[in-house]
Amino acid sequence: MRVEVLLATCNSERFLEPMLESLATQTFRDFVLVISDDCSTDGTVAIIRRWADRFDNAPELVVREVPSGSAGANFASLLALSRGDYVFLADHDDIWLPEKIFEGLVRMHALEERVGSDVPLLVHGDLTVVDADDTVIAPSFWAFKSIFPTFGMSLNTALMHPTVTGCTAVLNRPLVERVRDIPRAAVMHDWWIDLAACAFGAVDFDPVPHIRYRIHGANVSVPKRSSLGGALRRLPAPSEVRRWVRLRLDQGAEFLSAYADELPPDALATLEQFVSIRSAGPIARRRRLRAGGFRSPDTWRNAAAMLFV
């Protein structure tokens, strides 16, 4: 059994050593750390090499000579190279609790026993939100961002509501094979991975955080707390809501195009119905959105989508 931790780095020296220390002190130690460095100009590569002998298995380092273009593209390149039976994704600026890998494997093996090990499977989880100084901002990232993980278990709701934070993800081999070629049109690699698991296999989640997720102001994405009050104070313009819906429809169309010949009948029907919303008339768009169960957990988002789809 080959267990891999795929770590994407880019000018990561500020927070990289605490992350590497948290990986080197995992209770499950028989894993291979595979790193893709995206043309760092700071001391990132030197730090990685300095920490190499702290791991039971020698880390594998890919130093890119041409920028990937995004964190998602860097992760996609790691997945394309992966040889792991079980694959964990890791961000360069977080801290993993010692049991992170062990608990991820336990939950993945339990999912395999229920569903089978020959189908694409994804396990992910909640996180504790901390600041640059490792001070807790929120004990639950899901509560912080109003994420409902059950919505990421069914394809129709996963198309509308992203629930997977990539650094919590554990993929089995069949899922890695399905997502080897994540297109640049994917909104984010972790959302695409969730869609693939929903379409071809199954998803499970761990409500207990095993990562201290650092928000420090220089993140690739800068998550802000979600709330109804905040949403009402920042009511988006109709054009913004349409862009929000269109983003999801376009990603669904890209997913359908990528897997049309391989999708199970139910998943194919769901995606065809979802993508057909793009070309339908105003009344038909709303009917198809409702009939297909394409919805978010937030009443206000659903109402906005119905008004401006």
Are 61 and 48 spatial neighbours (Cβ–Cβ below 8 Å)? yes
Confidence of residue 238 (pLDDT cuts 50, 70, 90): confident
Check whether 38 has a pLDDT greater than 90: yes
Give the residue-averaged pLDDT of 36-59: 98
pLDDT score of 220 more than 60: no
Domain ranges of the chain: 3-214, 228-308
pLDDT(223) > 80: no
Q: Say which CATH architecture domain 3-214 belongs to.
A: Alpha-Beta Complex (3.90)
Is pLDDT of 221 > 70? no
For residues 269-293, average pLDDT: 96
Is 90 exceeded by the pLDDT of residue 235? Answer: no
Q: Is the pLDDT of residue 130 over 70?
A: yes
Per-residue CA distances from 75 to 16, 34, 123, 165, 291 (Å):
17, 11, 17, 13, 35
Please give the model's pTM, rounded to 2 decimal places: 0.93
pLDDT surpasses 60 at 273: yes
pLDDT value at position 224? 58
| Main-chain dihedrals φ then ψ at residue 201, nearest 5 degrees | -150, -115
Q: Tens of pLDDT along 158-192?
A: 999 999 999 999 999 999 999 999 998 899 999 99
Position 228 pLDDT exceeds 60: no
233, pLDDT greater than 60: no
Question: At residue 225, does pLDDT exceed 80?
Answer: no
The pLDDT-based confidence of 46 (bands split at 50, 70, 90) is very high
Give the span between the Cα atoms of 122 and 214, in whole angstroms: 23
Mapping DSSP onto H, E and C, the string for the chain reads: CCEEEEEEECCCCCCHHHHHHHHHCCCCCCCEEEEEECCCCCCHHHHHHHHHHHCCCCCEEEECCCCCCCHHHHHHHHHHHCCCCEEEEEECCCEECCCHHHHHHHHHHHHHHHHCCCCCEEEEECCEEECCCCCEEECCHHHHHCCCHHHHCCHHHHCCCCCCCHHHCEEEHHHHHHCCCCCCCCCCHHHHHHHHHHHHCEEEEECCCCEEEECCCCCCCCCCCCCHHHHHHCCCCHHHHHHHHHHHHHHHHHHHHHHCCCCCHHHHHHHHHHHHHHHCCHHHHHHHHHHCCCCCCCHHHHHHHHHHC
